[in-house]
Structure 1
């Protein structure tokens, strides 16, 4: 149907349709016009391209024919909503709105572009003639598929971005320029111990322990425009706990490159900070005593070398016989001795004094602004503190040797002063070396007595039996003295046996018995270092040997076993059998003698058994002996 025919039918009064078609053909957007009868009177070239329908095919058609190329069916579209209220049609459009007489909306047209489909933006409005009379309606359509795809891609990207933010371990926050949080992820909530609802709208001043420091960190980023990384700030969790967070701060900007706020990525570095502080502490401190170590001591010597704190006195301190203590009582006892020494040495010092553990058994003390007289006063206070400790702790006796030297200026190097202090300390150690060893031996015996609580009276009864049997055997006075000493210290090696084994009620396991059998060798080593016990060291080693060679530790037999040890073995066995034990009651004297006779020639010297039986038969039962 041509334009003249349309005009001849009266469909387009007061309008030159041909001229209108020519004008609208120049529109870049697809456009068509319908008259008051809802018949198509204009269909521009852009519409032909979008729909694949030529104008000659559509002009003059009504009954919603203009909707078919877009939706595959004849139905009302946005242009029809100008004159009718059709809610189902309105609902098909996204972002539908009405501004005066104009209608706007977005819709997906599956049949556009010959079935390829497209997202379309549409605008419809009434169409008026020159006289202002309404002639119909016009609809303009624009392909926004690319825009929609970009928009969807942006939404997808934002969604992935949000998903990533929610999955990362670091806390993520967005804040406006006033410091109020406008977004955060789950990790950010966990870092601060708050829910998302509690965090949104919260100001940074309510989060950071020092808001001013936080403000400076954010302000630097704002002024420089460059991201700020590695800022370590303390935050206060909802429960009041303080944690250290490392922040990476960057700016948020809008499309016009205007700053709108801040992005913050945060991670909790509290544990790392604690470890670093601990490592720094350990670099300069002794792990056992918590005193400064040799590294710090050397650094302080270097620092003070050219300072103004002269005169400077250095005191060299050595713990006496630490190696012996470790060997005999174990390193645990030795460690406790060192810790005790550290506590004692700290008591008399000034805050400016520097005490360090500079070696295994060596301590050193720097006394700034202290001449020899003041240093001697400090040493006297230390000695007094040691005496007070020893009077209260007989089982943990402390013995130290000290020497001091003073530097009066940089011309007397502190390293040389340290050497002089060491020399003085070693001279003192030589002077009272034997006395400190006696202290250790006394402590060992005291420890043994305190641990052997289940055999009250064992030592005194054993001593009495040894003296009686020794006299019967015709020992000399010197031999009797040794035998008496042996009765007191034969179990000295038991100080190294765990109390769980030493005090076990019941038979020992094979492994436990092996540990117990080591006590004679350890007791021997202890006695070898003591002038007072050296004469009985061999007796301690052999006091568990058997006549038939089945004893320990060397398996000696017969006369190769010292006489004193053979006498002691009989005396001890008799005392043990006639005393109560946790795992059995005491035996009577006749029962004990019968046991001794039964073991004559195997465990005991048979001749001594014959000699001692009359002496032992004079003993009453266990209770009377006690």
Structure 2
């Protein structure tokens, strides 16, 4: 048996020596037994030392007052106490036991053996009471925690009896089902339930609001009966997010059309008798890469959106439009004839021909194939339409750089008649002046090409600036000065056009290095750009502009002479003056 460290508190009378001796002889108390002969001494020892058990003598023969028990218990509530009394009546004993006294001993009947058994029993009982109290507190804590979890849960928690009626509902159930907890109790659940199942259901609340719910049920014992514990989660937002994610995965973000993933996923769904004859049109936007590289991807995006808008106006509601790649589109045309498809293609291409994006015309090459039998694979149909489209593109020359250049020139002419007429005159003069200088024919033709395209960057300049009547302000002039760089960017990626792009970039540079955009000087400026600079300036001075009238040739030549060696190449300036005088004599 474990040794017990105990304390006896009694009164200071001679008769208590025998009592102390009895406790000193009691096993298992003997070795660790202490005593005090006054309440004050005992309280002091309890504060200084740790004891397993306290014996408190409140007998009328030499003991302490009865209220000593309550004083000690108030200050040391966790100390197990055995009281010693000489009264065996219930009026004395029961109040003490009800106030947490562990046991009692009757003075005059105490033996060492009785002390040992009573002490061991009292300590064990105290430990059991403490353990029971802790378990009770834990159970109460768990109960309160569970109630809080059920009360605060975002999921509806319901108890449904065997007849399908609701017998418990938490606040979330009231929120999800749109009815109060009281209204839910006793009502039919309204959905089929079975043990250990999970299902998605559509719920319509009393006010008409629709929700998607996930229902999980298990079979449990409930108040001496069987019932279903149901967990209901509102997954409306989750399903909406899934639907949105699926839409994003199957739709092109720029145009809003279906994408290639949608085509690949649903290709089998179109292999039905109801779809026949099934037409498949393939469209390829002409020169989109060149447009992106030269005018920027924002321009290319706007062009695509504009072309899609045209296709949507031409197509029927049952037709399916798909952005298959960067510049490729597929249109599935169910229950159609070849005549209808050809007319659709004509309508789309005709509308695109009149479509201007940033003053640049758009065009799309198209081809088609028709499926008449259920056993024709859709991919074969796609390949056939694709081959037809590329054949049409090559036949019309739409995929070639010269088609792109002609489109740019045509766009500039439509946007700014003055600039386009100026370009025609400058091209002719540059060619003739190059021949006059004795340059070889290839260089003369390259110079004419530079002259034809030198203002192509003005496509990106607002018309309000190009056609302004009067001088440009500082901000407008800064915008206008971007056109050489824009023109260079539009041309440089075309095959064999690097030198032309470099000359376009340099045609506003000056011999003294004070030009733009790079500030290069003398021989750093390409020869064709130096020639163009002279011709361009002379033509501009001798023709009307929105902000001034034309000057006479003689005055313009004097201006070139004045700027010889600063703005213009001095040698070329002298030759150009000779060229103009010879031309007009």
* Separation (CA, whole Å) in 2 of partners of 1:606 and 1:183: 97
8 Å Cα contact 1:235/1:243 also seen in 2: yes
Query: Normalized against structure 1, the TM-score is what?
Result: 0.55
Q: CA RMSD in A?
A: 5.8
Q: Distance in 1 between matches of 2:186 and 2:251?
A: 38
Pair 1:199 & 2:180 matched: yes
Instruction: Tell me the alpha carbon deviations over residues 43-76 of structure 1, each in whole angstroms, 9 at most, x when there is no partner.
Output: xxxxxxx9978998425x8xx4354433xxxxxx
Q: 2:254 aligns with which of 285, 288, 302?
A: 288
1:254 paired with 2:244, answer: no
Q: 1:547 aligns with which of 511, 516, 527?
A: 511
Match of 1:264 in 2: 231
Runs (5+) with no aligned partner, structure 1: 1-49, 71-107, 116-142, 582-588, 617-626
The 3 A distance-change label for structure 1 pair 343 and 458 is: closer
Q: Are residue 429 (structure 1) and residue 393 (structure 2) matched?
A: yes
2:492 corresponds to which of 505, 525, 534:
525
After TM superposition, list the pairs within 5 Å mapping 1:504-583 onto structure 2.
506=474, 518-525=485-492, 540-548=504-512, 555=520, 557-558=522-523, 561-562=527-528, 564-568=531-535, 570-571=537-538
Q: State the partner residue of 1:110.
A: 100
Q: CA deviation at 1:148?
A: 7.1
Post-superposition Cα deviations, 1:111-140, rounded to whole Å, max 9, x if no partner, equal 35359xxxxxxxxxxxxxxxxxxxxxxxxx
Query: How far is 1:149 from its partner?
Result: 6.5
1:381: which partner in 2?
Answer: 344
Q: Does 1:220 align with 2:193?
A: yes
Match in the other structure for 1:58: 88
| CA–CA distance in structure 2, aligned partners of residues 172 and 149 of structure 1 | 32
Q: Aligned ranges for residues 42-53 of structure 1 at < 5 Å?
A: none
Contact 2:166 2:186 in 1 (8 A): no
SS at match of 1:215: coil
- Cα distance in 2 between the residues matched to 1:298 and 1:258: 51
User: Contact (CA 8 Å) 2:158, 2:170: kept in 1 or not?
Assistant: yes
1:376-455 equivalence runs, <5 A: 376-391=339-354, 393=356, 395=359, 397-409=361-373, 412-433=376-397, 441=405, 444=408
Aligned 1:237-386 pairs, distance under 5 A: 242-250=210-218, 253-259=221-227, 262-264=229-231, 266=233, 268-298=234-264, 300-305=266-271, 307=273, 309-370=275-336, 374-386=337-349
Q: Encode CA deviations 1:546-575: one digit per residue, 9 max, x unaligned.
A: 335776679573595236313135348869
C-alpha spacing 1:282/1:144, structure 2 compared with 1 (3 Å):
same
Task: Provide the C-alpha distance between the structure 2 equivalents of 1:150 and 1:501, rounded to a whole number of angstroms.
Answer: 88
Is the contact between residue 542 and residue 561 of structure 1 (CA under 8 Å) also seen in structure 2?
Answer: no
List gaps (5 residues or longer) in structure 2. Answer: 1-79, 106-127, 581-585
CA gap of 1:149–1:280, structure 2 versus 1, over 3 A, is same
Distance 1:306 1:434, change over 3 A: closer
The answer (yes or no) to whether the contact 1:348–1:378 under 8 Å persists in 2 is: no
Question: Deviations along 1:299-353, whole A, 9 cap, x unmatched?
Answer: 5554555757544443332222222222222222222322333333344444554
CA distance in 2, matches of 1:547, 1:382: 53
Shift of 1:255: 4.0
Report SS of the residue matched to 1:360: coil
TM-score, normalised via structure 2 length: 0.59
